[in-house]
């Protein structure tokens, strides 16, 4: 069990049977009165934020959550399969659970899989990844100065806006946090 003196940003706790992460923690002690911790908590699966106040010293259970590095294996019927390389245990997630991350996972990629009570619930992908463009309009030579972009489909099926000079079959680096094109990757 944690008590309020363990509270800090990033601590994962279980409240009313649900997993939350502390996003803000404020210590409040009025005058000669008892001390409190006021915390903002984000639901680890649903993302909603709640506000709770704890009397100093109150106990809170840790959330039964672990994060493991796993390799992406394959997609089957919109189900994404991952494997823990240390013990070869496999986990699966559906496309909804991946959120926007479905756009970036490719064979062999190592991602962090969050496991809540033994079940995989979400993944975190590396901040940058390189993907090949499988389709886009032909490039405009020499047009490197303007900010104009065009849509390009990459190997995972995601669509990314790229500068006009970029061509089909080229590899591009993408910031997975924003989904934005960063640069061309030389073969």
Partner 1 sequence: MSNWEPGASIKVLHERSTLLQKIRKYFSDQDILEVDTPSISKFPTIDEHIDSIEVYLKSQKTPSYLISSPEYHMKRLLCFGMPSIYQICKAFRKDELGNYHNPEFTMIEWYQLGIDDYQLMQATDKLLQHVLNTAPAEFITYKALFLKYLNIDPFNLTQSKFLLCCQESGLTPSKDLMIKNCRIEDQLNFLMGFYIEKKIGHQKPVFVYHYPANQSALAKIDPMHNQVSQRFEVFYKGLELGNGYHELQDYQVHLSRFESTIKKRKDSDQTDYQIDYNFMDALKHGLPHCSGIAIGFDRLLMIKTGIEDIDKVQSFSSKRS
Please name every residue paired with 65 in a beta bridge, in sequence order, or none if there are none: 116
From the CB of 38, what's the least distance to partner 1, in Å? 7
Beta-carbon neighbour count of residue 122 at 10 Å?
A: 19
Binding letters toward partner 1, positions 16-35, x by CB under 8 A: ----------xxxxxxxxxx
* CB closer to partner 1 out of 58 and 132: 58
Interface region with partner 1, contact rule CB under 8 A, candidates 54-62, 73-81, 83-91, 150-158: 54-62
Is there binding between residue 58 and partner 1 (CB under 8 A)?
A: yes
Closer of 36 and 165 to partner 1 (Cβ): 36
| Minimal distance, residue 187 CB to partner 1, in Å | 39
Q: Is the CB of 6 or the CB of 180 nearer to partner 1?
A: 6
Total of chain residues touching partner 1, rule CB under 8 A: 20
Torsion over CA: 171, 76, 18, 86 (sign): negative
Coil, strand or helix at 102 = helix
CA dist 140 → 107, 131, 155, 180 (Å):
31, 21, 22, 20
Q: Rounded CA gap, 22 and 14, in Å?
A: 10
CA distances from 110 to 28, 81, 107, 124, 129 (A): 42, 12, 9, 10, 11
Q: Compare residues 10 and 142 and give the one whose CB is closer to partner 1.
A: 10
Quick check: 51 binds partner 1 (CB under 8 A)? yes
* 42 contacts partner 1 (rule: CB under 8 A): no
Distance CA 39, CA 59 (A): 14
Contact window for partner 1 (CB under 8 A) among 55-63, 86-94, 145-153, 174-182: 55-63
**Can you give the binding site for partner 1, defined by CB under 8 A?**
5, 26-36, 38, 51-56, 58
């Amino acid at each position: 069990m944690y008590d309020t003196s363990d509270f800090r940003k990033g601590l994962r706790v279980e409240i009313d049977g649900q997993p939350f992460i502390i996003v803000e923690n404020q210590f409040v002690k009025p005058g000669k009165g008892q001390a409190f911790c006021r915390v903002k908590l984000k639901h680890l699966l649903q993302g909603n934020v709640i506000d709770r106040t704890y009397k100093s010293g109150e106990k809170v259970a840790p959330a039964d959550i672990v994060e493991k590095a796993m390799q992406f294996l394959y997609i089957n019927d919109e189900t994404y399969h991952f494997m823990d390389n240390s013990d070869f245990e496999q986990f699966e997630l559906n496309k909804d659970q991946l959120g926007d991350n479905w756009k970036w996972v490719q064979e062999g990629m190592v991602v962090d899989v969050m496991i809540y009570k033994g079940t995989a619930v979400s993944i975190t992908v590396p901040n940058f990844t390189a993907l090949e463009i499988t389709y886009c309009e032909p490039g405009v030579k020499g047009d490197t100065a303007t900010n104009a972009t065009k849509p390009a489909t990459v190997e995972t099926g995601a669509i990314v806006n790229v500068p006009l000079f970029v061509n089909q079959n080229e590899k591009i680096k993408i910031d997975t946090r924003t989904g934005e094109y960063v640069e061309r990757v030389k073969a």
